[in-house]
Chain A
Amino acid sequence: MNPLLQLKHVRKEIGRKTIIHDLSLEVFAGEVFGLLGPNGAGKTTTIRMIVGLMGITSGEVLINGISIARDFEKAIQHVGAIVENPEMYKFLTGYQNLIHYARMTTGVTEERIDEVVQLVGLEHRIHDKVKTYSLGMRQRLGLAQALLHRPSLLILDEPTNGLDPAGIREIRDYLRKLAREEGLAIIVSSHLLTEMEMMCDRFAIIQHGKLVTIESVQELSKQIEKVLFTVEPVEKALQLIQTRYPHINITHTDQGIEIPLDYKEIPNLTAALVDGQINIYGIQVLAKSLEERFLEMTGGNEIV
């Protein structure tokens, strides 16, 4: 499968400072790809380079195989984006804003505009001026303008910013649906890590303008940290486990016994506990959250 978006050794220098170092990644049709990184890591710069708002010092950005730098008009045709906040013309109505962007591409009919307006749930307020909109409504209008021309690559910077919980869920479900059913490639950046964990298939972590890692969320869920066994009697169980795994550090908490264990060992240990006549009330896998992984990779809350 050909990637919809390809970054090849992308580098950005501003003055003498290198903002992005040799960044390479690929995003495929049908996936939601998360862009993570602490403040100032270069997420927005990366997005700006992808959509041609910023020049690329060296390297290449290909959208559908077309270079954004060499053939901008052709490459950008299939891209819908919100870069940072969805800024709109406040003195125009939401509808006029959409007309404005519709005129800049080909093949967006009035029916399509109505369809998108419905999709983002703005039909009751679309003929009001944007200055009367709440942040959440602007976010929805921003999404509408990005979807207007049926893009195959959707780039959203903080798409759930300003939305209420119901709105967040709605947008998340909708984005997943777009990726699954219509085969869009979607790039999202967000600081809300739990949010990203629920939304993305894969994610890249960027720090200091360098790519730290690309991982899939599925893999992440297999990176077990600990397994929590709630058992009775505890003393007997502890003894049993300790003799079975003499080199493993076992902790006993109020919830039960926490053991750093491999995924495949869970059934074996369970069987052993049952054989040892220990009552098992619960087995819980304590997987690493994206947040923990993120902090682990980026070394905490470091900004510079």
Chain B
Amino acid sequence: MSNLFSLIQNENMKIYRRFGTWVMIGLLVLASVVGAVITKTTYREPADWKAEIASEISGAKEQLKEKNIQKTYKEHLQQQVKINEYRLEHNIKPLQSNTFWGYLVNSADIISLVTLFTIIVAAGSVASEFSWGTIKMLLIRPASRAKILLSKYIAALLFAVCMLGLLFLVSAVASAILFGIETIREPYLAYQNGTVVEKNMVIYVLQAYALNCADLVMMATFAFMISAVFRNQSLAIGLATFSLFIGPQITFFLAMKFDWAKYLLFANTNLTQYIDGMPMVKGMTMPFSMMMLFLYFILFNAIAWFTFQKRDIAA
């Protein structure tokens, strides 16, 4: 009986021994470095940040006077006002993109590239075995189909984790070299139980990364499912990237008209909406989205598992 660890080892070998994988890794490193260089050359710091913050505060207060303002948005504005007042009081400059932490937070945007690459890997992992014909060799070993599928799924997620780690590392190094680490002790201002507290900036960066990962995991799982069901890599990559880019737009339009849009996958993948205080549909909360994502996650995996388990392997 083969154990799961060896199976994952096998899948890793099939991922990292391929040239294409290293092209993707190279592109990710390039994107991170180029992003830092562009920030360095184009970003201009505000001349008087205190004046800007002051105008932000008055603007927010102006908005707060309005009657029919959404409750979550109102809370968000109130928090912003508190945090901004704290900044002026304690002379803490808002996070600038051309600082060590600033760029690191922005590098979380590059995660969409990691998502794309993970989709490619996840889409290929089952479908390629079919197109290579090696599936026949793979499934006549003393390993259940469920185990083989699980090992492939885990290997795809491990790839994502490695890419995220790499992105973080390269961005941190590039950031340290280009922007210096003088501002490393700057705190992150969070709002907790009615007061503003100073926290380590690492927490903020990790939060930014984590929130962007919901998309990543869901789309990778989706691509994996398509790959297992249709045995076609191009279809899996196409559908997953298409929905990755178009899905949120369509959901956004639907959400303006229909309340049920909140049950759609893409209404829930963007978790930063709760940090900004602007959920897509009124009344949506972070726990609700987490729950929906979990349900979709189970659904995708169940479909992939079921079809793979039952399928006759022909031709």
Contact = CB atoms under 8 A, between A and B. Distances in A.
Q: Is this pair of chains taken from one and the same complex? A: yes
Interface of A: 14, 48, 51-55, 72-74, 76-77, 79, 81, 83-92, 96, 99-101, 103-106, 145
A166 to B, nearest CB: 26
A83 B132 contact: no
Q: Tell me which of B9, B138, B142, B312 has the highest count of chain A C-beta atoms within 10 A of its own C-beta.
A: B142
22 contacts: A48-B313, A51-B140, A52-B140, A53-B140, A53-B312, A54-B313, A72-B142, A73-B1, A73-B142, A83-B136, A83-B140, A84-B133, A88-B134, A91-B19, A92-B14, A92-B17, A99-B13, A100-B10, A100-B13, A103-B9, A104-B141, A105-B2
Contacts of B136: 53, 83-84, 87
Nearest to A79: B140
Contacts of A103: 2, 6-7, 9-10
B132 A90 contact: yes
Contact of B141 (A14, A76, A85, A99): A76
A54 B136 CA distance: 10
B134 A89 contact: yes
A77 B136 CA distance: 15
B97 to A, nearest CB: 40
Contact of B143 (A51, A73, A91): A73
B5 to A, nearest CB: 9
Interface of B: 1-2, 6-7, 9-10, 13-14, 17-19, 132-134, 136-144, 310, 312-314
Contacts of B140: 51-53, 76, 79, 81, 83
B142 A53 contact: no
A195 to B, nearest CB: 23
A33 to B, nearest CB: 18
Contact of A104 (B13, B18, B134, B143): B143
Nearest to B5: A103
A54 B138 CA distance: 14
B143 A54 contact: no
Contacts of B313: 48, 53-54
Contact of B142 (A76, A88, A145): A76
Closest 5 A/B residue pairs (Cβ): A87-B133, A104-B141, A53-B313, A103-B6, A54-B312
Contact of B139 (A53, A55, A77, A89): A53
Contacts of B17: 91-92, 96
A48 B136 CA distance: 9
A136 B136 CA distance: 19
A52 B10 contact: no
B10 A104 contact: yes
